Amino acid sequence: IKRDLYEGGIRTPFVAKWPGNIKSGTESKLLATFWDVLPTLAEISGTETPLNIDGISFRKDLFGEKQKTTRPLYWEFNGVIGRQSGFTKRENH
């Protein structure tokens, strides 16, 4: 059901482990997307993030810092009529 627009489709947990860098038990409510992985890994590795990409680094959240990011997120699956999902905010409190 990965292509579904419900839990398990677009909302799945992201787990990261990096002893000595990511504190065990760290949890975040930040809504990240797959296209956020590239800028996150680029920032962590000290590599310049490519221009003109949609992703936003979530490095701060990985290391237990709080960050606020706002942007609209929207998915639509045309295989089933009427399946739409969106988030207008992605904030971490």
Q: How confident is the model at residue 8 (pLDDT cuts 50, 70, 90)?
A: low
Query: For 33-43, what is the mean pLDDT?
Result: 92
Average pLDDT over residues 11-36: 86
What pLDDT is attached to residue 75? 72
Please spell the DSSP secondary structure of 6-40, one letter per residue: SBTTTB-------TTTSPTT--------GGGHHHH
C-alpha 2/C-alpha 8 separation (Å) is 6
What the block records as the tokens of 56 is 């936003």
Q: Is the pTM of this model over 0.75?
A: no
DSSP characters over 74-86: EEEETTSTTEEEE
Pick the range with the lowest mean pLDDT from 17-31, 32-46, 59-73: 59-73
